[in-house]
Homo-oligomer: A and B are copies of this chain.
Amino acid sequence: MRVLVSGGAGYIGSHTVIRLVEAGHDVVVVDDFSNAKPTVVGRLEALTGTSVPVHSFDLTDVDKTEHLFANETIDAVIHFAGFKAVGESVAKPLDYYQNNLDSTFSLLRAMRRHDVRTLVFSSSATVYGAEPRLPMTEDLPTSATNPYGWTKVMIEQVLTDVAASDDRLRIAALRYFNPVGAHVSGDIGEDPSGIPNNLMPFVAQVAVGRREKLSVFGDDYDTPDGTGVRDYIHVDDLAAGHVAALDRISAGTTPMSIWNLGTGQGVSVLEVIKAFERASGRPIPYEIAPRRAGDIAASYADPSRANSELGWYATKTIDDMCADTWRWQSKNPNGYPDA
C-alpha cells in the first residue's frame, strides 16, 4: 500500500515510516515541521534506503490537503499530526482543539472525496481519564483531564460516528501507553523542544549533561516504591503495532476498531532511573518534588485485545528502551541538527 503518514517527521511517526518501508509499503509524509526538524528526513532516507516524499504544510489548510490527495496516490492514512503538550493545552485550549480537530476533519474530507477508506489514528491512554480501573481495557469509559486529552477523546468519537455512517470505512484508533526508546541505530529518536514534559527524555538529557538533575513528582503514591507507575513501550514496538493494525483493518470488514498498545507491565519512576543508570553507566541525580496536578498513581494496559486480534506483542524490555534511548541521546546530545 501507499500510506500517507501525517506527522511522519515526528517521534512516533518517523519510527513508523521505517517499519512501513521494512514491511514493503510505500510512504508519503505530510508534516508542517512545527514540532519536528527537517533533518530527520535525510536520516529516514539513509536508514530505509528509499526516497521519502515529504509535503510540508499544515493539514488544517483544506486546499493544500485537497491538492495533496489530488496529486498523490494514497491507499491509506496513518494520522499522527497534532499538538501534544499537556501543559500548553491548558494555557491555549482553543489552539489545541482547533488544530487537532480541524486537521482531522480536513483529512477525513479529503479521504472521502478521493475514496480513501483506511485510517489509523494516533490516540492515547490519556482517554481513560483521571481514575481508570487497572489494567485498562478498551471498553472503559473515556474522559480526560486536560484539553490535549479531550482532543483525543473527541476525535475518537468523531471517528466512531463517521465509521458508523459508512460501513466501507476501515478505521482504527490506537491507544498508546508511554512511548520511549529510539531506533536501534541511534539515528532517529525523540527530540522534544524546550524542557521535556516526559520522564525518559528528561532522564536522557540529565545523563548526557544537558540538565543538572531530575525532579521526581511524588514519592507517596499508592505504588510499590511510592513513585508513579507507567506502561513504557518501546517506540519500535509501537511502530510495529501501527503496521499490524493497518494490515488487519485493510484485510477485515470492521469499520471501527480500538486497540491498546502497551506492554501490560507497570514500571516505576525509580525503576526507570535505575535502568537508565545501568544502560548509560552514568548516575542520574534526582530529587523528590511534589506531585503534579493531574498525574495519576498508576497506568498500565491490558494489551490482550491487540495481542489476540493483531498478533502483535510488545517485545522490548525497559533495559532495551533505556539502551536505545541512550544510544540516540549520546550520538545526538542536542537532538537533530538544524540544517
Contacts and interface: CB of A to CB of B under 8 A. Distances in A.
Contacts of A93: 158, 161-162, 164-165
B92 A165 contact: yes
Interface in A148-202: 150, 154, 157-158, 161-162, 164-165
Nearest to A144: B157
A92 B109 CA distance: 12
Interface in A93-107: 93-94, 97-98, 101-102, 105
Interface residues of A, number: 22
Interface string A113-137: 0000000000000000000000000
Contact of A154 (B90, B154, B162): B154
A91 interface: yes
A112 interface: yes
Contacts of A150: 157, 161
A164 B94 contact: no
B102 A165 contact: no
Given A90-B161, A90-B164, A102-B105, 20 more contacts: A91-B165, A93-B158, A93-B162, A93-B164, A93-B165, A94-B105, A94-B108, A94-B109, A94-B162, A94-B165, A97-B101, A97-B105, A97-B158, A97-B161, A98-B105, A98-B109, A102-B102, A147-B161, A150-B157, A154-B154
Contacts of A98: 105, 109
A39 to B, nearest CB: 33
Interface in A3-42: none
A102 B150 CA distance: 16
Nearest to A106: B98
A98 B108 CA distance: 10
Contacts of A164: 90, 93
